[in-house]
Amino acid sequence: MKKWPLITLGFCLSLLLCSDCSRTPSSNSGSFSFAVFGDSQPEDFRIQQTKMFKRILAEIKKRKPDFVIALGDLIAGYQYNEPELRRMWSEYSKAVRVLEPIPLYGVPGNHDIFDEMSGRLWDQYMGRASRFYSVVRKNNAFIFLDSETQADAAAGLQVDWLKGELRKQRGRDHIFVVIHKPVFQPLINGKRKELSRSDDAGQKDRADFLDILGKNGVTAVFAGHVHIYDKEVRNGVLQYISGGMGERSKEVDQNKSFTHYLWVTVEGKAFHVEVVRPDLRNFREETRKVNAPHVIEDFESDDSANSWETWWHKVVRGEAVAAPGGGSGRAYRLDYDLSQYAWPQLTIGLDPLQEWIGAKALSFDLYLPSESAPAKPLDLYVQMSSQAKDGFVSSIQQPKPGWNHFRLPFSENRWDWFRGDDSERRTNVAVQIREISPVGWLEFILAAPDRPETGSIYLDNIRIE
């Protein structure tokens, strides 16, 4: 199986703040507009789509495009448990329903199709008998390609179909190609990523693929995969990369990686591409240093099971409910069956990421129903970690039935540092927390191997001080 390399990129900020225009003589074929977004997948196998993604979809709907194009990597994917993968697709389908009745076209990304089972689910949820197809809008052809199934789009049966489709669409005002992985590698901080030796075999296929597009009148290519915005012409092919709808990765050039989508207006033989940056309108709350007690806000809940993360086993269930036992507001509830899964885990993603430099302690309230009190003590671990999954973990004493308040000072010798497989005891976490800040996740993990109990715990008033 040939694979295109994962690419990370950089760019000049001054170019990003402008709209991109391509102009040729006008025709009378009519005007229309469409939105393009890419790589909206949540990180770390999360099931729910992000609030940012949902808000941008609502904004796109208000602008009333003629249709919308998704450039792939729509779900977190890479989950080999089919029920879990179906939940991811169900959450995506629910999120994009806000666009109805505006048509939504898409191509698969590597997070969407990565084996036979995931391909079958793509076909079911996206409603496409074929993973490459074409659509005509007002004398403009849109050719959608699959860069993920069996071999990359630069070789094989799909290229034969593409050649015939390009011949068929000659004479259109525009031919736009839509694909997940870019057809050529863009610049990263002024340099292009070197191909690995194992990837050299596919280099000629990609060069031939680019040549096919350049010689057959393709106006522009829209691609994703790389979590940046980029525009470049090579061998006569204009390529836009728009991978700006998901959670940003630290590894890319900061000038090129930002939240965005594309708004494209076609007027006959002219077209105009606007790079829309909601983050410049204070769309998302800024990450901030903590100088005072800060409450980690409860997730918005749709009152359904698994309204946030419960890893990794389907018998673990979590949801947001009314706080029990005289508590106020809502609380997180984690249901568990230790005979089925010995390490039930509740992961709370922090949105936005939290700068905890200067923080002194983590505190929370835990409610244990009397009917759930185990015969033998349970171990509960509290873990805080960065996007890179480095972090600190501590254990707490056995909670009593009813509400318990826990305060875990960062100055105490109770925190273990972990990075990959490495673990050591750290004594001054208040200073060393800068190594993982900003903090992306809080995790509460029950540890009770070889136990038969079932029960629930509730968490509320989670804060740092």
Q: Single out the residue in 232, 251, 281 at which a domain terminates.
A: 281
CATH number for 118: 3.60.21.10
Same domain, 41 and 172: yes
Is residue 266 located within the same domain as residue 371? no
Residue 335 and residue 266 share a domain? no
Domain match, 333 and 242 both: no
- Co-location of 311 and 224 in the same domain: no
At CA 153, angle to CA 150 and CA 155, rounded to 5?
85
Could you tell me the CA-to-CA distances from 268 to 26, 30, 112, 174 in Å, in that order? 5, 6, 34, 9
Q: pTM of the entire structure?
A: 0.58
Indicate the residue among 281, 311, 346 that finishes a domain. 281
User: Does residue 330 form part of some domain?
Assistant: yes
| Domain-embedded: residue 5 | no
Whether 208 maps to a domain, the answer reads: yes
Same domain, 274 and 310: no
Whichever domain contains 450, its CATH number is 2.60.120.430
Tell whether 265 and 406 lie within a shared domain.
Answer: no
Domain final residue, candidates 254, 281, 308? 281
Do 269 and 214 fall into the same domain? yes
Q: Distance (Å, rounded) from C-alpha 394 to C-alpha 417?
A: 9
Distance, in Å, from the CA atom of 385 to the CA atom of 442, rounded to the nearest integer, reads 7
CA 38 to CA 349: how far, in whole Å? 22
Write the CB contacts of 226 (distance below 8 Å, at least 6 apart in sequence). Answer: 6, 7, 8, 9, 182, 186, 241, 243, 252
Whole-Å CA distances, 41 to 235, 277, 313: 31, 18, 21
3-state class percentages of the chain: helix first, strand second, coil last, to nearest 5: 20, 35, 45
Task: Look up the domain containing 323 and give its range.
Answer: 294-464
Does 7 map to a domain?
A: no
Neighbours of 15 (CB within 10 A): 14
Same domain, 220 and 310: no
Identify whether residues 123 and 267 lie together within a single domain: yes
Half-sphere exposure of 33 (CA within 13 A, CB side): 14
The single residue listed with the structure tokens 């989670």 is: 462
Domain membership of residue 3 (yes or no) is no
Q: Is residue 199 part of a domain?
A: yes
Q: Is residue 379 part of a domain?
A: yes
Q: Give the DSSP letter string of 75-136.
A: S------HHHHHHHHHHHHHHHGGGTTS-EEE---TTT-SSHHHHHHHHHHH--SSSSEEEE
Query: Nearest Cα to 133, choosing from 107, 103, 104?
Result: 107
Output the tens digit of pLDDT for each of the chain's 465 residues: 333 332 222 223 222 233 343 333 334 457 999 999 999 988 767 788 888 899 899 999 999 999 999 999 999 898 888 888 898 999 999 999 999 999 999 999 999 998 889 999 999 998 766 788 999 999 999 999 998 885 545 556 788 899 999 999 999 999 999 999 998 888 766 667 654 433 444 556 677 888 899 999 899 999 999 888 888 888 889 999 998 887 655 456 666 778 889 999 999 888 999 988 876 653 333 333 333 445 665 444 434 433 344 444 445 566 777 888 877 677 888 877 777 666 777 777 675 667 777 788 888 888 888 876 666 777 788 888 876 667 888 888 777 888 989 888 888 777 888 775 566 777 778 777 777 777 877 888 877 666 677 888 888 888 888
- Whether 356 and 237 share a structural domain: no
Is 233 part of a structural domain of the chain?
yes
Q: Looking at the structure, tell me whether residues 275 and 306 fall in a common domain.
A: no
Number of domains in the chain: 2
